[in-house]
Structure 1
Amino acid sequence: MTPQPFHQFVLKIHSRCNLACGYCYVYESADQGWRAQPRVMSEAVFATACRQIAEHAGDSVSLVFHGGEPLLAGADHLDRLAAHATSIVGPGRRLRLGLQTNGLLFDERVAEVCERWQIRVAVSVDGDRAGHDRHRTYRDGRGSYAGVVRGIDLLRRRPSLYAGLLCTVDLENDPISTYEALLALDPPTVDFLLPHGNWTTPPPRRDEGGLPAYGKWLSLIFDRWFDAPVRETGVRLFDDLLALILGGSGRSESVGLQPIRVAVVETDGTIEQVDTLKTAFAGATRIRPPGPGNPFDAALLEPAIMARQLGREALGPTCRACAIHRICGGGNYAHRFRAGSGFRNPSVYCPDLEFLIEHVRARVTAELARIGARRPAGGR
């Protein structure tokens, strides 16, 4: 197998956060390596990473400013980093800049910087005020919803920059109320994220052999989304499932067998795997220190990186024998971990994924049959 080069690079430009979210996979996980990281990625470290990316990558690159909370680095620092990215990585290729933020520090100055460099912004928000403030709080316990919505309202006035919303699923929240609260913020797309957990550290109410509560929660939103008279927003998980069920491919690491081509750069310049793996065990994201040459090229040869590009061959025997493995893809890689057997397991969300996939497939099959029944005989 020839590994495919990375095409998305997540740069942690600030390693701390101004929130204390109870489910955070960085600060509340088994890996506490963030404590040893510099708070801010320096311009020198960022420029070096950009030169290495430019040497490694093909003609299309996505570069995401991330954290912690990246806007803690300040608008002026973001401005300088975006200038470096554009001048070093941009020439001769399509460069897409993105920013993942909690929205609290998104102000007019940040908006100006994002407009200058066409940085598309995604914001994390967990539905309505009650649902959001249950987990996404300041360190003193105050909810952050009002501040987040202020940032989103400012972003909404610049639709070319508005990438969408990320919402972590919480079974304590009503699914339809959650979805409609997100819709009220006019997102171009919504990404529903399952809480990061695994067989050793299960997510809330996801007991081995238990009912597919997460699958049922998401299926209710799917019906609301699918039955809307017009397309109100994209939902990345649902769009991926529809594409996969109809024989296409997905775009995310949540479902499907597409190769994962993402590298993370920490504030000190260290290259690591996708950071959701921090929920598995301390050091799960680390790769060997590179020798001479481009460190991204060297990282591609790491067994742990190659496993993310092997598709079906990286699945364990239970998944390979499953009828829906091409659609499910084993679920998110981080959710497969079990101490003692690594990642060659079904997802801890296996019952939920199966329930949701079969639900979506049944809805699509019924809709195609309905359309076919309405078509005149001999028509096209």
Structure 2
Amino acid sequence: MYEMADQSWRFQPISMAPAVIDAIARRIGEHARIHDVAELEVILHGGEPLLAGPELIALAVKTIRRAVDVGTQVHVIIQTNAVLLSESYLRFLAGLGVRVGVSLDGYQAAQDRHRVFANGKGSHEQVTAALRRLTTGRYHHLFSGILCTIDIRNDPIATYEALLEFDPPAVDFLLPHGNWSTPPPFRDPESMRTPYAEWLIAVFDRWYGSTRVETDVRFLSEIIRLLMGFPSRTEAVGLSPARMVVVETDGSIELSDILKSAYEGAADTGMNVLRDSFDAVARHPGIMARQLGVSGLSSVCRGCEIHTVCGGGLHAHRYSDATAFDNPSVYCLDLFRLIDHIRRRVAHDVAMTRSER
């Protein structure tokens, strides 16, 4: 978020005030009652959420859970870079029943390419030590998975296998944020090359070809689900409606914070939990645009044979200064090649299974 086009973080409080936490809890409870919500998920992230400290984290979790009626289950996940994930923090999070997602970009050289301290020293050693505390003892049940941002300079198989060392229940590979006006690294909009597809195909073949289930690679398993006719559970692919909002530290309610990669104010709704309900946000044009399914895609996407699987890609990745979001993803060619590869591989296996009956 610190390097995105939207720099509004500079004017936000570092952490939430108790009054904002109270308002968030009240809005969540209100929304759950009105819509008879059986389960909801709250993700604490940043920045680095562990910097808020145990007292504020406990206040947020307990206040939100108290605000919902009996019968509504609140799942809380904290997404952390794990540098501060000590034994005492794990014991504290276990007591709260908060699950932990960790950001790790792979083996040492891969992790330390981007994730460094202010003095330039890499974070791999500290993060992997924290992951071992989380995954090899009594706290493994808290582990929700690993978030890994793709850098195509890193070896895909070595990256994947470095993540597997920690027995993650799930791995999320994220495409670097960018768009047609500000392209992501190594993605030339004028080129027919598909470097991100090549990287992900290597991971797919290694993961899919394993003789045992090693983990759930969510981006790839969601594509398989979509090819089989099931709805997507992520905004990265497919046409399922967006079902989340972001609340900033001052209480501002925003659209997906990934939109901040597009332009200043792209995620703004003009609403705040101190005065607005989540139902009011649901009527915001930016939210409604992400509920339109096929009709919300560009004409180029609607004419594509895989549009129900690709879903036009992540909404933020469609942006250009000239035509706003009325475009395919800047990763269009990569997504097409990846999905086509997965489709062919899965179709072959289905045909082989049928022929053996």
Q: Distance in 2 between matches of 1:288 and 1:298?
A: 11
For 2:347, the equivalent position in structure 1 comes to 365
Deviates more, 1:83-92 or 1:357-366: 83-92
State the 1:340 CA deviation: 2.0
Is the alpha carbon distance of 1:48 and 1:128 closer, same or farther for their aligned partners in structure 2, counting shifts above 3 Å?
A: same
Q: Of 191, 196, 221, which aligns to 2:172? A: 191
Moved more, 151-160 or 291-300: 291-300
For residue 225 of structure 1, give the secondary structure of its aligned residue in structure 2: helix
Letter in 2 for 1:85: I
How big is each residue's C-alpha offset from its partner over 1:349-375, in whole Å with a ceiling of 9 and x where there is no partner?
000000000000000011111112221
- Partner of residue 62, structure 1: 41
2:6 to 4, 9, 31: 31
Aligned partner of 2:26 in structure 1 is 51
Q: Which moved more, 1:72-81 or 1:33-42?
A: 72-81
Higher relative contact order structure (alpha carbons within 8 Å, sequence separation ≥ 6)? 1
In structure 2, the partner of 1:272 is 254
Residues 273-318 of structure 1 show CA distances to partners (whole Å, capped at 9, x for unaligned) of 1101000000001013369974311111111110111111110100
- Aligned positions of 1:266-345 closer than 5 A: 266-289=248-271, 294-345=276-327
* Residue in structure 1 matched with residue 146 of structure 2 by the alignment: 165
Could you tell me whether the CA contact under 8 Å between 2:238 and 2:313 is conserved in 1? yes
Q: 1:40 to 1:291 in 2, by over 3 A?
A: closer
Take 1:253 and 1:91, find their aligned partners in 2: how far apart are those partners? 29
Q: Deviations over 1:110-153 (max 9, x none)?
A: 21222122111100000100001001111221101111111111
Q: Distance in 1 between matches of 2:8 and 2:262?
A: 13
Taking the TM superposition and a 5 Å limit, the aligned residue runs for 1:1-380 are 26-57=1-32, 58-89=37-68, 91-156=70-135, 157=137, 158-210=139-191, 211-289=193-271, 294-375=276-357
Contact 2:253 2:270 in 1 (8 A): no
Amino acid at match of 1:44: A
Distance in 2 between residues matched to 1:82 and 1:301, nearest whole Å: 27
Q: Percent identity?
A: 45
Structure 1 residue 44: Cα displacement: 1.9
Cα distance change, pair 76–291 in 1 and its aligned pair in 2 (3 A): closer
Aligned Cα root-mean-square deviation (Å): 1.4
Deviations 1:192-216 (A, max 9, x none): 0000000000011101142011011
Task: Point out where structure 2 has 5 or more consecutive residues left out of the alignment.
Answer: none
The alignment partner of 2:105 has SS state of: coil
1:14 is matched with which residue? none
Distance in 2 separating the partners of 1:183 and 1:289: 41
- In structure 2, relative to structure 1, the CA distance for the partners of 1:293 and 1:104 (3 Å cut) is closer
Q: Mean Cα displacement is larger for which, 56-65 or 228-237?
A: 56-65
DSSP 3-state at the match of 1:121: strand
Q: Distance in 2 between matches of 1:370 and 1:209?
A: 39
Q: TM-score, normalised by structure 1?
A: 0.90
Which sections of structure 1, spanning at least 5 residues, go unmatched?
A: 1-25, 376-380
Q: How many residues get paired?
A: 350
**Normalised by the size of structure 2, how large is the TM-score?**
0.95
Deviation at 1:32, TM superposition (A): 0.7
Which shifted more, 192-201 or 76-85? 76-85
Q: Is the 8 A contact 1:290 1:299 kept in 2?
A: no
- Amino acid in structure 2 at the alignment position of 1:241: I
Shift of 1:248: 0.7
* C-alpha distance 90-234 of structure 1, shift in aligned 2 (>3 A): farther
Per-residue deviation, residues 325-368 of structure 1 (Å, max 9, x unmatched): 00000000010000021111000000000000000000001111
Partner of 1:8: none
* Superposed displacement of residue 76, structure 1: 2.4
